Amino acid sequence: MWWKTPGGTRASGTLASSATTPTRSTAPNGGPEVIVPASVTPPSVSISARHARQIRARCALLASVALVASLALAGAFVLVGRALPASSVLVPALVQMLGLAAAFALLVMAAGAAAARSCVVGERLDANGARRARRLLVRTWGHTLFFGLGADILLALAVLDARTASSDVAGAFFGYLALVTLPAVLGGVMCRQVVRALRLPPEAPG
C-alpha cells in the first residue's frame, strides 16, 4: 500500500488498526523513514449500558451540587468578607475577589461536568470529548487551588495588619478560612469522580 507523507514523499507499508508497536517504513530511492503510529484513538468507543447510565447520573448530580455550592459560596464570600479586619479596604476587597474567583471556577467545573454528559450517546463514549472534559476539570480545579491559596495569604496579612485578637476578628478569620477551602475541596471531589467516570475502557487505545 502506498501513501504520501506530509513532505510529499511516497512511502510503502501497511497500517494495521491492531498494531501495538510503531512500524518503520523506508521510502524508495533512499528517502527518509516514515514512522507509522502504533494506534489511533477512535472517535468513540463502546461502553456498557451500566457505564453510560453511571456517567450521565454522576455528571448530573455533581454538576447540580457544584452549581448550588458555587452560588452559595459567592454570597457567603461577600457577607463574611465585610467583617474581615484591616486598616484599609484594599486587602479585604482583594480577599473577596479571590474568593469569588474560586467560586466562579467551581461554577465553570459545574458547567463542564454538565457538558460531559453529551460525551455519551447511547452506549458509545466520545473519546475526544471525554478527554477534553477531563482536561477542563483538572485545569479548573487547579484554579480553585490557586485562588484559595492566594486568599489565605492575603487573609493572614489582613489579620496581622489589624493587630488585634478580638473575638470578632477571630470569627471572621476562621469563617473566611473555612469558606475559601470549600471550592478546592468540592472541586477536587468532583474532578476525581468525573474523571474516573470518563476514563476509556481498558481495551480502548488512548
Q: Please, what's the b/e burial string for 122-146 (b: 16 or more CB within 10 A of its CB; e: otherwise)?
A: eeebbbebbbbbbebbeebbebbbe
- Distance, in Å, from the CA atom of 23 to the CA atom of 26, rounded to the nearest integer, reads 10
Q: Please, what's the b/e burial string for 169-201 (b: 16 or more CB within 10 A of its CB; e: otherwise)?
A: beebbebbbebbbbbbebbeebbebbbebbebe
The predicted pLDDT at position 33 comes to 52
Q: Indicate whether 8 pLDDT > 80.
A: no
CA-closest candidate to residue 18, choices 37, 1, 2 = 37
pLDDT band at 127 (very low <50, low <70, confident <90, very high): confident
Contacting residues for 171 by C-beta, under 8 A, at least 6 apart: 83
Q: Residue 203 corresponds to which cell in the numbers above? A: 481495551
- Please tell me the least confidently modeled range out of 47-51, 84-88, 181-185: 84-88
